[in-house]
Amino acid sequence: MNTKSVYNRKKYQRKVNKIVRTLNKSIQQDWLWNGRFQIRQAASYLTPYKDHSGAEFQFLLVCKDNKTGKITYDWFDNYNAEYAIAVWVNDVITNIFKVWDENPNPNQQARLAGRQPPSCKI
C-alpha cells in the first residue's frame, strides 16, 4: 500500500471541496432555492490508524441560510461522504431550518419572485 497517498490530507480535502462546490452550484442554480443556502467547510483533520493500514479524514461542514442568517454544522468522515452530505443538507433544510413551515412556503415565495420550475419535457 502506498502510505504516501493514504496520509495525504490534501487528497481527501480536494474530494470534499469538489462535493461542496457541486452542491453550492446546484443550490445557486436551483429555481426554488436560488442560492439561499451555502455550505462551507470549517475544519478538517486526518487520523492515521494505529496499525498503519490507512487513515480517517474527518471534516466539519457549516450550512448557512442566507435569508434568515441561521447556521448549523456537523462532522463527517470520508466514508460515503457525498451521500451523507446530501442527506444532511436535506435534513437541515426541512427539519432544522424548517423552511417549509414559512408562510408563504418556499414554492410560493419563488413563484411570487417570478421564478418558475423548469418545464418537464417527456
Q: How many Å apart are CA 46 and CA 13, to the nearest integer?
A: 10
Query: Tens digits of per-residue pLDDT, 6-34?
Result: 678 888 899 999 999 999 999 999 999 99
65 — pLDDT class (breaks 50, 70, 90): very high
pLDDT above 90 (res 70): yes
Q: How many Å apart are CA 75 and CA 27, to the nearest integer?
A: 21
Q: For residues 35-40, give the mean pLDDT.
A: 96
Report the pLDDT value the prediction gives residue 122, as an integer from 0 to 100. 65
pTM of the prediction?
0.86
pLDDT above 60 (res 2): no
Q: What percent of the chain has pLDDT over 90?
A: 68
Contact partners, residue 104, CB within 8 Å, separation at least 6: 112
Query: Tens digits of per-residue pLDDT, 90-114?
Result: 999 999 999 999 999 999 999 898 8
Domain borders along the chain are: 3-112
